[in-house]
Amino acid sequence: MNRLTDIESETAADFILRQRRTVTIMCGIVGWIDWRRDLREERSTIAAMIRSMALRGPDAEGSWVSRHAFIGHRRLSIIDLEFGRQPMSTVAADPFILSYAGEVYNFAELRRELEKTGHEFRTRSDTEVVLRSFLEWGRESFARLRGMYGFAIWDSGRDELWLVRDRFGIKPLYYLPTSSGVIFGSEPKAIFANPTVKTELDATGIAELFALSTAPTPGHGVYKGLYQVKPGEAIRVSRRGVESYNYWSLAATEHRDSLEDSVDHVRLLLEEIVEQQMVSDVPLGGLLSGGLDSSAIAAFAARTAHRRGEKLPTFSVDFPDGQAEFIPSAWQDSWDEPFALEVSRHVGTDHRTILVTPESALTHENAVLHSRDLPGWGELDTSLYFLFKQVRQHTTVALSGESADEVFGGYPFFHNRDALAYPGFPWLLDKSSPWTLFRAEVESAVRPANYVESRYREALEEIPTIEDENEIDKRMREVSYLALTRWLPAMLDRKDRMSMATGLEVRVPFCDHHLVDYVWNLPWRYKNEGGEGKSLLRRAVADLLPQSVLRRRKSGFPSNPNRQYLASLRQRTLELLSTPGAPVFELVDPAKVAELLEQGRPLPSPRASASPTAGMSYLLNLDSWLRQYNVNLSYH
């Protein structure tokens, strides 16, 4: 591949360029390749597609258009970002054009390596590092990146488009192949802004929403014809069609380190990762629930902040009278707030509690729906959205403890013998899924139980194995793989939509692939020493946290326990039942909903744990989505 020495960007004095680091965060990418159209004549459609990504980047926009290719970008400018204008292109007769969103944490090391090979940089942005890495190493460059990202590179000389997503799907990237090219974007709304695309839901999309919404199939976009670039995947689009390349996947290797050495190595990795992810030119804080995972990240981050002479801001969520109305469950053993306050005092953070009232939860439902472009997780989404909206008033970047349960084996299904023996996704044991509300004819056409079984078998076939591995480690390797590749992407997707809609960037240190690669190959006895879940992580941070938190059991994101909120959802659900032509009842049997309400039983929801509010919230969300997105149902 030819090495080009100039990158098209805004001009500035070299002195300034060498003194400032440009951070590329909170962006939206969009594009359209069509070999039968002249896209230079599609200005109104291009403008609409770029405008659709305004929430992900409200401050600036850019586009590059040729006869058959449009590459667009939306950006949120925070500090001195004018030197990283996007799309970024090489200066050549047949340029390479990049639209990039995310953060590459090892960009400085890659930059030094590229400079040694002769590249001359015009900006301080990680965007330019990503583009020059591709110029130097081609598709081999993707595996060199360490971070969270989704980006598109158009090679105008070869008429080829590359769509690339990070290893765990922290940043989203959708695409829709057409008969003459492809349309793509960070979110479905970017694609639906193109008038050639219609919103349609077929049988597989219905199955994804109602049977696998907790852990959707990798690459599936739910809408008919829509796909996601899978985590760790690169898609090449050319006149020959669409080709897929996996540049990363979990690999099975025999672990030889002792338990003590493994604990030490995990500790070193976490210290390095958190410090690396605290590089920021904008205010940075931490999400602190008081659970082991977020507390560990907050402790490492607080130490780094203290060395800099700063105090880390941390944030938690609570509800009016939440502790008084709290009912323990397998997924939430204890109320968060007392633990969050204790950790804050212990590690020395500037802590704020964000209170989610029933009014605030109801007020933000529509904003949450349009952030997702799909039915979400009901009130769990609205609570998270409101939390992020309030956090954004104090900081621009927040560190999260998300994914530690997938990496270290913390969820209840890792420790439930019946769930481990269950011949399906272990989190579905004894779970009442939303598809149980189907009308008879919909269930007959969609066949949700068969769909779930097929997806489970496909997942098992992907899992790499080690010869002569004992049965316990073999099964726990399988469950860990399922959690990392099915469960985790849905959690990250929710986090991305709610944070991007509020202008907050959330970073997830536990998703660093160096850590995940290492821990995934540890024997289960290392992670579950003495039958204590996540024992390896507990040992790695034992000197940083109070004993109460070190011993605390898994506690998930809390559902709203407020009785006023529950009453409001119940009244709205009763009103929905009496609404003529409610589109959700083309799929759901209203008699089944009415019976559950009459019996005072929770409606089934996507959430793994039962909640009195989540099922009603999800049903209402489904109906709003079908109406507002004018979704055509074609499941027959």
Show which residues are catalytic.
Answer: 27
Task: Using the Cα atoms of residue 592, residue 597, residue 601 and residue 605 in order, give the sign of their dihedral.
Answer: positive
Two structure tokens written together for 293: 């995972």
Residue type, 236: R
Residue 243 β-bridge partners: 236
- Determine how many CB atoms are found less than 10 A away from the CB of residue 430: 9
3-state secondary structure of 13: coil
Q: Beta 88-90 vs 181-185: how paired, if at all?
A: unpaired
Phi, psi of 200, rounded to the nearest 5 degrees: -140, 145
Residue 474 · residue 254 · CB < 8 Å: no
Q: Which of 204, 207, 193, 105 is nearest to 149 (CA)?
A: 105
188-192, long-range: CB within 8 Å, 24+ apart, which pairs? 188/221, 188/223, 188/226, 188/373, 188/374, 189/52, 189/53, 189/370, 189/373, 190/28, 190/30, 190/49, 190/52, 190/53, 191/49, 191/226, 192/52, 192/373, 192/629
Starting at the earlier edge strand, list the strands of the sheet with 160-165. 7-8, 88-90, 96-104, 147-155, 160-165, 233-238, 241-246
SS3 of 89-119? EECCCCCEEEEEEEEECCHHHHHHHHHHCCC
Two structure tokens written together for 522: 């540890």
What is d(CA 501, CA 376) in angstroms, rounded to the nearest whole number?
A: 14
What is d(CA 176, CA 159) in angstroms, rounded to the nearest whole number?
A: 18
What is d(CA 73, CA 156) in angstroms, rounded to the nearest whole number?
A: 18
Using DSSP, how many helices (H) and how many strands (E) does the chain show? 26, 20
